[in-house]
Amino acid sequence: MRRKIRSIHLRSERGSYTIEASLVFPLILVCTITLLFAGMYAYQHVFVAERAGTAAERLAATWDNSRKNIASGGYTPGESDGLYWRLSSDHVLDLFGMLFQHGQTTIALASAQPANLVERKLVRAAQLLPHGVEGTASYRNLLVDRQIEVDLEKSFMAPPMFQKWLSRDLTSGKAVTHVVDAVELIRLTDITRTYFSAIKGRISPEKAKEALVEPVHQDLSGPSISIQSERQASTYLRSLVGGSEVVLTTPSGKSRTIDALDSRGIAHQAFYSMTESQLRAEQLPKDVELLDQGTTVRGVVWHFFKKDASGKGMPSDAFRKELERKGIVVVIHN
């Protein structure tokens, strides 16, 4: 009898082990799989964040030239974005973002159609993104701090029951970096140190204020005095524009007397009795040569003085249009 009871007791213990294992093992399996997906989620989150950081850093490193290879930084010498891109194509007005609708530029990296230089620079980050990773890139210029922000996302594939537990169906990563234009900073610092020491003490504050005074506007439409000769017209013109008489040699070797050459390089010519045929044959070719050369003469203005009320000696409409096509401004003095 004792042996029988002992055998029944042993059989009942073996059954309890089986029941406990059948209850605990599924729970252990679910926990293991959950931890596995949690690890996969954490890994993918770190991966997306690393991709965002790499894209932002390489955009900042190659920001000074959109022709640079974003991965290596290499570019062909001579290819650049122009000399003044920092003023015209770098969103300098982002500093006043509170006054404008768009204080920062943001572009989608997946299906972007860049419209300006800033967007063309940002969209290059799409070359660094692996398959399945999407997001946006942003740029803001605050003059003292130029920021690039890359925000990426990647869908996370998991069974529905695990998505409920993890409360996530995608992973995201964000990185913000700053554009440091070291070459431009060194250049500006060197220019400032060089030229400030060169001009220091050469001009007094009073002289500087006088130089900044706007010149009094003078009406060139016609003088109130009576002009009777070519020489009198030239003398009046020099006093009117503040220029001086100079003799120049054209590229073809011809001598040209400028009645009044002002401080801006504008050549003023006075005409009182010359005909259109004389002007076309003698004066016009010389002025066109000097204007094309562009070294001493930056512009040409022809002043015609009327002899009488009939308007004799004034250029015809066809001749005036011809002069304007060649870059010569015409002023009629009554």
Q: What is the pLDDT of residue 281?
A: 85
Per-residue pLDDT of the chain (334 residues; tens, 9 = 90+): 555 555 545 555 666 767 777 778 888 888 888 788 888 888 988 999 999 999 999 999 899 888 888 888 888 888 888 888 887 788 776 555 555 544 688 888 877 788 888 888 998 998 888 888 999 999 988 777 889 999 999 988 766 666 666 556 788 899 999 998 888 888 888 888 888 777 776 666 776 666 555 544 444 444 456 677 888 888 888 888 888 888 988 888 888 889 888 888 889 988 887 788 888 888 889 998 888 888 888 889 988 887 766 666 678 888 888 888 888 888 888 6
Q: What is the pLDDT of residues 144-180, one digit of tens each?
A: 788 999 999 998 876 666 666 655 678 889 999 999 8
Residue that has been written with the tokens 């609708």 in this structure: 101
State whether residue 258 is helix, strand or coil: strand
How many C-beta atoms surround the C-beta of residue 243 within 10 A? Answer: 19
Positive or negative, the CA dihedral 22, 26, 32, 36 is positive
Phi, psi of 212 (to 5 degrees): -90, 0
| 266-271 β-sheet, strand order | 244-249, 255-261, 266-271, 299-305, 328-333
C-alpha triplet 56, 153, 106: angle, nearest 5°: 50
pTM: 0.49
